[in-house]
Amino acid sequence: MHFGGVLVQADRVNHPEPWPLRHLVLRTPGLQLRPDDDAGLLELADEAHRGVHPPETMPFGFPWTDAPSEELGRNTLQHHWKLRAEFMPESWVLNFLVRLDGRVIGTQGLVAKDFAVTRQVHTGSWIGRRYQGQGYGTEMRAAALAFAFDHLEAEQARSDAFTDNPASQRVSRKLGYVADGTQRRQRRGQAADITRLLLTRERFDAHRPRWKPEVEGFEQCRHMLVGGGTG
């Protein structure tokens, strides 16, 4: 700043990084995964408008894609903002934006509650319909699972899928999940069955791809995910 022609250097205060998750990145042979940011969420909302699934199907427990067009984008942003605001070591949802050649194509989530004790995560994801069937769903989930098992030292990962969602279940089988019971839920006003799926570290080691994701920025945000320290 200038005062009377004299340049005054503003004091720089050393303080902890307020949001170290912004430095986390996973790189696979074809994709990049980073925790959601506002610019990327605008791209994600645009991809949701382009379509996620045929209108006659509903792969999600909460039918968020049924929202009117004028609400879909706003709902998408507000959902991610809410999860980001509520993030704490005891209960967190880490939503990675998945990029292909720099473009956001979907999101891959890791969810945990009391992770320091349970050592368990839950996965959930979606990608734009125009990118489906090309192996990206398997690649991005494999990256998130490798991060969970290799860096967070998780012991179990869980997922679930409606019984009429074979694409999701194919990805799970490729990566080593086993069926762990069924559950009935309400979907669009009707009963629908889901298959619960369980993956252990040992089974993932036997089914993981040959590559491992390159991980940057984990040490800065370790305390936000596994607890301990101030970062």
pLDDT digits (tens, 9 = 90+) for 107-154: 999 999 999 999 999 999 999 999 999 999 999 999 999 999 999 999
Structural domains of the chain, with CATH: 2-226 (3.40.630.30)
Residue numbers of the chain with a pLDDT score lower than 70: 1-12, 228-231
Identify the pLDDT of residue 219.
96
Identify the pLDDT of residue 15.
84
The CB-side HSE value for 7 (13 A sphere, CA atoms) comes to 1
Identify the pLDDT of residue 10.
57
Q: Which residues have a Cβ under 8 Å from the Cβ of 175 and sit 6 or more positions away?
A: 138, 141, 142, 145, 199, 204, 207, 208
Identify the pLDDT of residue 161.
95
Identify the pLDDT of residue 179.
95
Identify the pLDDT of residue 2.
55
Identify the pLDDT of residue 227.
80
